[in-house]
Amino acid sequence: MFFDTHAHLADEAIQLNLEEILKLAVNARVERILCVGTTASSSRMGIEIAQTVRFSPHVYASVGVHPNYAHQASDEDWKKIRSMAQEDRVVALGETGLDKHWDDCDWDTQVANLERHWDLSFETGLPVILHSRDCEMEMLEELEKASARFDKPLHGIMHSFVGAASTAERCIKLGLHVSFAGMVTYKKADDLRAVAAIIPEDRLLIETDSPYLTPEPHRGRRPNTPANVIHTAECIAKARGCSLSEIAKLTTANACRLFSVP
């Protein structure tokens, strides 16, 4: 059984065929999916999906504001996020984080947005899903600041990880989990596969980031869907020299523990 820890099921590319896409997932033994929000309104849609699709597959939701949308989030939106965090089937915050690839949102706003997710995480106990793009060092700095601010390990996921082994090690030390998406399957991604091979067993997660980042052998096909998480799992199993069923078992157990779900 597999747990896709990051899928944007509220994205139009998926929602149009949601029923069929969820059936494909169950056929591929992907029986748990975290539906990830990026704005107050997509978080709301994610909760609706998670509260409707309760089993086969089990869908859960995360609520939060993506760094590329942080400048658009009003105080009212953040109030909604705070209240949605209490709802049934909501098991995580985010995705949030930092992004220097796109300049949609100024840096200070991104940092403040990330900080309020940490405040809410320490208040509620919910883990934070972290997006980091083209700002590995700055991200580590902010994570270390957050951990120092609360004087506690961080509860969360470095999602769709593409960084260096040393960065992964620092994230692990801070208490975080590391999740791999389709990029780890790409032909030129030997370095990333080497990173996937050294993540401690109890911190490893897999995801699709649907509808983006379709893994090999389907790279380039859109939309990506949760059923494809199996290809990422296969690739990681090979990199770690273990069986697919071992990877399925440990990544699912890690996700269930992190999100406190059965």
Residues that bind Zn ion (CB under 5 A): 209
- At 90, the amino acid letter reads V
Shortest distance in whole angstroms from residue 15 CB to Zn ion: 15
Q: Which is nearer to Zn ion, 209 or 216 (CB)?
A: 209
Shortest distance in whole angstroms from residue 70 CB to Zn ion: 14
Q: Which residue of the chain is nearest Zn ion when measured via CB?
A: 209
Shortest distance in whole angstroms from residue 65 CB to Zn ion: 12
Angle at which helices 190-198 and 229-240 cross, to 10°:
70
Environment class of 16 (CB within 10 Å of its CB; exposed 0-12, middle 13-18, buried 19+) = exposed
Q: Which is nearer to Zn ion, 72 or 246 (CB)?
A: 72
Pairing mode, strands 90-99 and 58-63: parallel
Shortest distance in whole angstroms from residue 245 CB to Zn ion: 27
Q: Which is nearer to Zn ion, 99 or 209 (CB)?
A: 209
Cβ-based neighbours of 20, under 8 Å, separated by 6 or more: none
The angle at the Cα of 114, spanning 110 to 120, to the nearest 5 degrees, equals 150
Q: Which is nearer to Zn ion, 142 or 209 (CB)?
A: 209
How far apart are the C-alpha atoms of 163 and 179, rounded to whole Å?
11
- Residue 183 — φ and ψ, nearest 5°? -55, -30
Task: Report the DSSP beta bridge partners of residue 178.
Answer: 158, 204
The DSSP symbol for 54 reads: -
Shortest distance in whole angstroms from residue 242 CB to Zn ion: 27
Shortest distance in whole angstroms from residue 85 CB to Zn ion: 18
Shortest distance in whole angstroms from residue 6 CB to Zn ion: 6
Q: Which is nearer to Zn ion, 8 or 193 (CB)?
A: 8
- Tokens 């949102």 correspond to 105
The DSSP symbol for 72 reads: G
Q: Which is nearer to Zn ion, 136 or 246 (CB)?
A: 136
Shortest distance in whole angstroms from residue 90 CB to Zn ion: 16
**How far is C-alpha 5 from the chain's CA centre?**
5
Q: Which two tokens stand for residue 116?
A: 């309020």
CA dihedral 90, 260, 11, 13 (to 10 degrees): -150
Q: Which is nearer to Zn ion, 70 or 240 (CB)?
A: 70
How far apart are the C-alpha atoms of 215 and 224, rounded to whole Å?
8
Q: Which is nearer to Zn ion, 185 or 208 (CB)?
A: 208
